[in-house]
Homo-oligomer: A and B are copies of this chain.
Amino acid sequence: MNGLPVAEVLRIVRTALAEDLGDPARDVTSIATIPQDQVSTGDLVARADGVVAGLPVAAMVFDVTSEASAIFAAVVEDGARVARGDVLATVTGPTRALLAAERTALNLLCRMSGVATHTRAWADRLAGTKATVLDTRKTTPGLRVLEKYAVRAGGGTNKRMGLYDVAMVKDNHAVAAGGVVEAYRRVRSTFPDVPVQVEVTTVDEAVAVVGAGATFLLCDNMSPDLLRDVVAAVQGRAELEATGGLTLDVAAEYAATGVDFLSVGALTHSSPILDIAFDLNPAPAA
């Protein structure tokens, strides 16, 4: 599924359908009015300009409600820029299955496309600079794999972290270990295969941890001036991530400091959806 882990996506799809269809699953309106064997065709249509992400996920929703009998034909691919009115995909299958899938498919697709669209705005703003936009762990609970995929579809980069696959040394760890350098060393020796990022607050601290071997630093809430000093002091021996309340308005200014990454929690915690509709061709009365 193109970089989407199928087991996790299926879990999400089934959970979302269960919320909407209850247990046992039933769409009472359709059961009462739509003949069981009626087949229809519908289009997923953009209602606003943006970047699409999540078409294989939407396809899986229709797949599950139709027990694999619906045919989902994508017109564009994830990552495509689309304009209001564009048809993104066409679906043909049992009408009841299409209606049972509609809201869940849209809830997923609109949200993922919203993240991709927001990320694309950042990527466009940073085009031509050295910096790329990075996501965070501030994701919607339960949807992390989808949102990180959507960030990639929008031109962003995943820091790819939970607490388990990348270490991040912050103030509490430094205090507990008796200093940020010592904290770095403990993580490094305990988990030699895990990348370690270290949060620094001053130029001196940055120089010290890089001297101890750190190759990835987090600069939280630093001013552009301070960032520039850190960049100068580190001399390319470590990658630098700036974070902390960054907005599109100041993106260029921060990118100009020479940091490698700007991380933006709002990509995943506060993006508005991209409005997409499902236009079903009505079928005649039974």
Min CB gap A79→B, angstroms: 16
Contacting pair B27 A68 (CB below 8 A): no
A222 cross-chain contacts in B, Cβ below 8 A = none
Contacting pair A68 B3 (CB below 8 A): yes
Contact among B114, B144, B284 for A19, CB-based, below 8 A:
B144
Known contacts A20-B162, A169-B33; is A190 also within 8 Å of B68 by CB?
no
Min CB gap A40→B, angstroms: 8
Stretch from A80-88, A175-183, A201-209, A248-256 that touches the partner: A175-183
A178 to B60, CA, bound (A): 31
A100 to B3, CA, bound (A): 18
Contacting pair A172 B282 (CB below 8 A): yes
A235: interface (CB < 8 Å): no
Known contacts A177-B285, A273-B270; is A7 also within 8 Å of B137 by CB?
no
Known: A95-B172, A100-B163. 19 other contacts (CB 8 A): A3-B68, A4-B68, A12-B141, A12-B142, A22-B165, A26-B163, A28-B164, A28-B167, A30-B163, A33-B173, A95-B176, A103-B138, A110-B138, A111-B141, A172-B280, A175-B283, A176-B284, A269-B273, A270-B273
Q: Which A residues fall within an 8 A CB radius of B?
A: 1-7, 10-12, 14-16, 19-22, 24-36, 38, 40, 60, 63-64, 67-69, 95, 99-100, 103-104, 106-108, 110-111, 114, 137-145, 162-165, 167-179, 183, 186-187, 189-191, 193-194, 196, 266, 269-270, 272-273, 280, 282-286
